[in-house]
Structures are given as structure tokens and as C-alpha cells.
Amino acid sequence: MRARVEIASQVPGVARIDAASKDLLAATCLSASACAEAAAFLARIRETRGDAGAALTLYDRAAREEPTEARWLTLADAASRGGAHAQAVMALERAAQKQGMTEALRKRIAEERARAMGEK
């Protein structure tokens, strides 16, 4: 099924990749971990295609399905790249809940908050 998604990602437009993505999620979301992995895979494909909105939605799903520090940080990175700085702050705060607040996280949260407010 992943191969189908990869092929569909090469076709212009979104109809084929949307259908392939839906089928992949339906087939693999039997456990939270498998669903998170599939959503993250699809997010990477969408991001590569330049579809930041769909990628963020899928990274968010991955983090909610399997809320690990790594998944929250991946969401924060994608949100920051896509200009969704408020979403990046939320994801970084969730990562901090998992690992504890570090100085690096505190600094990054402050930077993303400033960007969200148009200060950077």
C-alpha cells in the first residue's frame, strides 16, 4: 500500500494521493503505533509534494495517536517550517511534558511564540 501512495504522489493533483492515503490509513490503523507510523509516512510524502497543510494535519495525527517526544518534536519542526508557529509552540510544550522542560526547549518555545506574534 505504501508503494501505491508513492506512485500516487507522482501524479499531478490530489485525487489519487488522497484515495491512496485514505486506503493506507484504513488498512493500517489497527493500533495507535501503526496508525502513527502510517500518518507520519504520509506526512513526509505530502511535505515533499509541497502540501504543508496536509502534512501538518498528518504529523498532528501521528503525534496524537502515539504521543512520544519525537512525534511532538517532528510536528513542531514541520509547523515551524510551514509558518504555523502557534502550532509549533503547542507541540513543543507537549514534548516538554514528555521529557521535561529543558533550556533548549524553553528557548525554542520563546522563539516560536515571537514568530507567532510577528516579532521575528
- Whether residue 74 is found in the same domain as residue 52: no
What tens digit of pLDDT does each residue of 37-53 get?
Answer: 999 999 999 999 999 99
Domain range enclosing 34: 1-66
- Whether residue 103 is found in the same domain as residue 77: yes
Arithmetic mean of pLDDT, 67-80: 97
- Whether residue 39 is found in the same domain as residue 54: yes
Domain limit, last residue, from 66, 82, 110: 66
All three cell numbers of 35, joined, read 496508525
Could you write out the DSSP letters of every residue in 82-115?
A: TT-HHHHHHHHHHHHHHH---HHHHHHHHHHHHH
Residue 120's pLDDT is 62
- Does residue 119 surpass a pLDDT of 80? no
Q: Find the largest Cα–Cα distance for the chain.
A: 44
What tens digit of pLDDT does each residue of 79-93 get?
Answer: 999 999 999 999 999
- Whether residue 94 is found in the same domain as residue 119: yes
